[in-house]
Structure formats: structure tokens, C-alpha cells
Amino acid sequence: MTEKRKTYKTLLDARFPSADAEKEEQKQIERRRIKRQLNQSAIERYTDVKNDIASLLDLIGEEMRVHAQGAEAHPKNWGNAGDATNIRTSLKNVLEFLLIGRYRWTETEAARFIEDHLESLREDKR
């Protein structure tokens, strides 16, 4: 298990001794976050967000790995395919947003590019 996975799993499995202690910890985290953000320049904020995105993508990969295990254990459950479709749609929307901004494409052009690209990747795997 990678260090990131261990840390993530530790966070998920963490149990606070009481609801009050959990609320206080959440308040402390929020105070530190607000204080840090108030003192940031635009590029510092951008860098933080970019790093957050990288972390989120890692976490999504880990959650998809676990989700895939459940899908493999229950191959007739169409709910798993529905979950994966919702996740794909959300990620595709993010990529469309980036492509529209970069290339000044329409939503249709960006969506078509993505679908064509994904289809060509599928064909390459065959």
C-alpha cells in the first residue's frame, strides 16, 4: 500500500473520541484554512488549488480501485455501471470546461473531441 493510500485510509478510519472533540478539530482546521487563504497571493492560491486537484485525482483513483473491486465481485449489478457513468460524466464536464477555455471551442466541439478520443483509445486496446 502506498504512503498516500495509507494516509487516506487512516483519515477515513479515524475515530474521534467525542462529537465535541470532532467539532473542535473541524473548527481549528477551518480557522487555519481561512487564515492561510487571506494571506495568499493569486499565484499561491492557484498553486494550492492545483495541488488540491492533483490530490483529488489521486483519491478518485483510489476510490475507483475499491469501487472496481465491488463491481468485479457483483458483475450483474448495473448500479456499479451507473456509478461509473456518473463519475465519467463529471470528469468529462471538467475536461470540457478546460478545453473550451483553452481552445475557445463550443461545448459540442469539446464533447465530440473527448468522445472521439476515448473511442480511439478503446480501439487501440482491442
The answer as to whether 25 is a domain residue is: no
pTM for the whole structure: 0.76
The answer as to whether 99 is a domain residue is: yes
Confidence at residue 6, expressed as pLDDT on a 0 to 100 scale: 67
The answer as to whether 104 is a domain residue is: yes
pLDDT tens figures, 47-65 = 999 999 999 999 999 999 9
The answer as to whether 89 is a domain residue is: yes
pLDDT tens figures, 92-107 = 999 999 999 999 999 9
Domain that holds residue 124: 81-126
The answer as to whether 69 is a domain residue is: no
Q: Which residues of the chain have pLDDT under 70?
A: 1, 4-6, 9, 12-18
What is the C-alpha separation between 18 and 40, in angstroms, rounded?
Answer: 34
The answer as to whether 9 is a domain residue is: no
The answer as to whether 62 is a domain residue is: no
- Measure the CA angle with vertex 64, ends 59 and 70; round to 5°: 135
Number of domains, the chain:
1
Q: Which three cell numbers mark 103? A: 481552445
The answer as to whether 123 is a domain residue is: yes
What is the C-alpha separation between 32 and 48, in angstroms, rounded?
Answer: 14
